[in-house]
Amino acid sequence: MAITLAVGYAVIIFLTIKNWNAIEEWTIPEYWKPFTFATILIPARNEAADISSCINSILEQNFPPNQFEIIVIDDHSEDGTVSIIENFPSKNITVLKLADFPEMKGKHYKKAAIELGIKNAKGNLIITTDADCIAPPNWLALMVSLFEKKKAKFIAAPVNFHNEKNTFERFQSLDYIGMMGVTGAGIHSKKLSLCNGANLAYSKESFLAIGGFEGINQIASGDDMLLLEKFQQIFPEDIYFLKNKEATISTHAQSTLNSFVNQRLRWAAKTSHYKNRTTVFVQTWVGAFSLGIFISLLLIPFLGVFALRLFVYALCFKAIVDYFYLKKMSNFFDRPDLMRHFLSAQFWHLFYIVRVGIGSFFSKNTIWKGRKI
């Protein structure tokens, strides 16, 4: 069983690398001039500390300022988020407050925010990000150029962490870089439904054509991956991953173990709603392999040297496979420094996969933005 799980894990990583390599690295075409008007949606709840940096990074884009607007949808903030947005001098920023729209009551908050933003959007291209994110200067031009040239219906792009303060946060960065490779490879191969709502784009017309969040509105999260599944069912040939490190949205890693576990439990909670069984199969296989390594560690007092050897062999095998994959991905995103924390990251990765995997079966509630979900 251990050998089967290990070989299967290696095959998953091999196919991920193969499909990642096959993705065209997108660059802004020479002499390209945008004709699309874009609407950037930013759902925000209690983001007074970060919202200014987020908006400024978008206003400073290498993109015509008269061809995009920013709509911030306030999700019942209890701090100064709204007043900060309203005091921005730029004229192409609108703030909408969910509290002012009673018809949105009863819908899950982030989906309600995005839906409200889309209803009020002037642009046909909808781009979503989060209020604690920073956009690089060419982000918008890369998104719009891919949308126009490929006639894309849905675009997923990279998200990663920055300004890490300790080893735990650097582990999250390394882990997430690996997840970006799986995301891109999965979309390119049309086998997986992975993406991150902090860096997505889709046409308003297509969003309405698939029925928006209808059918998934009752689920707390899923404004990204479950939405992608809906797009894949209707527009399977028109979905792209924007492979370019200059399109990477940056955000903060979770500062505490408790907030990190809560975040991952919230993500795991939507697994039972996936219709893409390949996504579930891959996640289950990775979880089973990690759980097997952990169980072999627990069996050492009972099985002695046999269990110890099994633990060491399996962990070393995983580490070797992960090393070549993460080295490739960290080099692509210009973060080779993260590989200095590779060994400690192996133990963090093993712990959280097992903790969240088991916890997702028993934990029905998680905390997000001060709310129990």
**What is the per-residue pLDDT for 165?**
95
Element (H, E) at 241: strand 239-241
Position 363 scores a pLDDT of 65
Residue type, 238: D
* pLDDT at position 365: 66
| Assigned token pair, 203 | 């046409």
* Nearest alpha carbon to residue 109 among 271, 208, 217: 217
| Contact between 318 and 6 (Cβ < 8 Å) | yes
Q: Letter for the amino acid at 255?
A: S
Task: Look at residue 367 in the predicted model and tell me its pLDDT.
Answer: 64
Strands 200-203 and 38-44: unpaired
Half-sphere exposure of 209 (CA within 13 A, CB side): 13
Which residue from 114, 274, 140, 273 is spatially nearest to 208, judged by alpha carbons? Answer: 114
The alpha carbons of the chain give a radius of gyration, in whole angstroms, of 21
Question: Are the beta carbons of 192 and 80 closer than 8 angstroms?
Answer: no
Q: What does the alpha-carbon distance between residue 138 and residue 123 come to, in Å, rounded to a whole number?
A: 19
Contact 131, 51 (CB under 8 A): yes
Alpha-carbon gap, residue 171 to 166, rounded angstroms: 9
Of the chain, the end-to-end C-alpha distance in Å amounts to 37
pLDDT at site 206 = 97
**What DSSP character marks residue 54?**
H
Residue 91 pLDDT:
83
Q: Is 125 helix (H, G, I), strand (E, B) or coil?
A: strand
Cα–Cα distance measured from residue 265 to residue 373, given in angstroms and rounded to the nearest whole number: 11
Say which residues have a Cβ less than 8 Å from residue 130's Cβ, sequence separation at least 6: 42, 43, 54, 197, 198, 249, 251
Domain segments of the chain as ranges: 2-16+275-363, 26-273
| The CATH number of domain 26-273, selected from 3.40.50.970, 1.10.3720.10, 3.90.550.10, 2.60.40.1730 | 3.90.550.10
If phi over 0 gives left and psi between -120 and 50 gives alpha, with beta otherwise, what is residue 168? alpha
Q: Output the pLDDT for position 369.
A: 66
Give the separation between CA 82 and CA 335, rounded to whole angstroms: 35
* Dihedral sign of CA atoms 171, 175, 176, 180 in order: positive
**Run of H or E including 187:** helix 167-189
Nearest to 88 by CA among 97, 100, 80: 80
∠ CA 193-195-201 to the nearest 5 degrees?
A: 115
Closest CA to 209 of 231, 225, 228, 224: 231
Q: Are 116 and 96 in contact (CB under 8 A)?
A: yes
Q: Within the chain, which residues score under 70 in pLDDT? A: 105-108, 363-373
Give φ, ψ of 141 to 5 degrees. -65, -40
Q: Classify residue 180 as exposed, middle or buried by CB count within 10 Å of its CB (0-12, 13-18, 19+).
A: buried
What's this model's pTM, rounded to 2 decimal places?
Answer: 0.93
**Coarse DSSP helix, strand, coil percentages of the chain, rounded to the nearest 5 percent:** 55, 10, 30
